[in-house]
Structure formats: C-alpha cells, structure tokens
Amino acid sequence: MASNWYDEGLYQALDAGVSGRDIRTLLLKDTYSFDPTHATVADVIAGSQEISVSGYSRFNNSAPSVAKDGTNHRAYMDLDDSVFTGLAAGQDVGFAVVYEYNASDASATPIALLDFSDTPTNGSAFTVVWEAVASGGVAYVAA
C-alpha cells in the first residue's frame, strides 16, 4: 500500500516539532564523522568533537520559522544566521549542528547537521549562513 503526505499535514508536523522549542547551534571540529544514529548532543560531541577555542559558546537561535511549499510538496525550517563572535585561532570548524536544548546535552536532541568547507578560527566572528527557504532552509521534509 502506497502512502503520501498532504502538504498541510507535512507543514503542521514540522511546525509542531520545532515551534516554541529552544533551538540552538553548536560547532564541531573538522574531524567529526556524521552518524545518523546519534540521538543526543552528548552522542554528537563525544570524544571532544565540539570546538573549544577561547571565545566560543553555543548560539541560541531565535524562534525557527516553518514554511510550506505546495509546488514542491515540502515543509522547510528556517533560522536566522548563527553568529559566533571572537573565536580565538587554533581549530578548524567543519560542521554546525542545530539541536533542541533540553536541560543538558544528555537530553538535547540533534536535528540537522551542516557540513561546510573546513574553516580555521582566526580571532574574528564566524557566521553560519543558513540557506533561505527558497534554497532549502536549514532542513526540509518532502512528501
């Protein structure tokens, strides 16, 4: 038996999953290896995978927005760009992880991973530019 999503149902499911949630972004070193079975942020950062240069702290995103695309039958999550200011030199950033914070890393849920060109920290701001909804957003779910 075949199954499909209705556009509105898809949108509502994604919106219910992120609306009103404490969504944050963290940065990982270029040595991280993605594992889709990671269920918590503690799993993701095990083995010192999170960057640790002076000036680094996780970014608290403003409320995410969700958009519906009836033409392509997708629902998109979008965030304002994540700006990490004053990261001291010394490590290469290779990934950003969007996650829902819930009191501790052991109960925080990873949502999406962005893999980008390895970028050395150099004492200045590091900005994760999330794609606009028209380009795919932070992540999307397709019917």
For the chain, domain boundaries: 7-142
Residue 141 structure tokens: 């779910």
**96, exposed or middle or buried, with CB in 10 Å at 0-12, 13-18, 19+?**
buried
How high is the pLDDT of residue 29?
Answer: 96
Question: Which bin fits 44, alpha (ψ -120 to 50), beta or left (φ > 0)?
Answer: alpha
Report the distance separating Cα 91 and Cα 51, nearest Å.
Answer: 7
Report the distance separating Cα 15 and Cα 80, nearest Å.
Answer: 16
Higher confidence at residue 8 or residue 42?
Answer: 42
pLDDT tens readout for residues 41-100: 999 999 999 999 999 999 999 878 888 888 888 888 888 899 999 999 999 999 999 998
Number of Cβ within a 10 Å radius of residue 138: 24
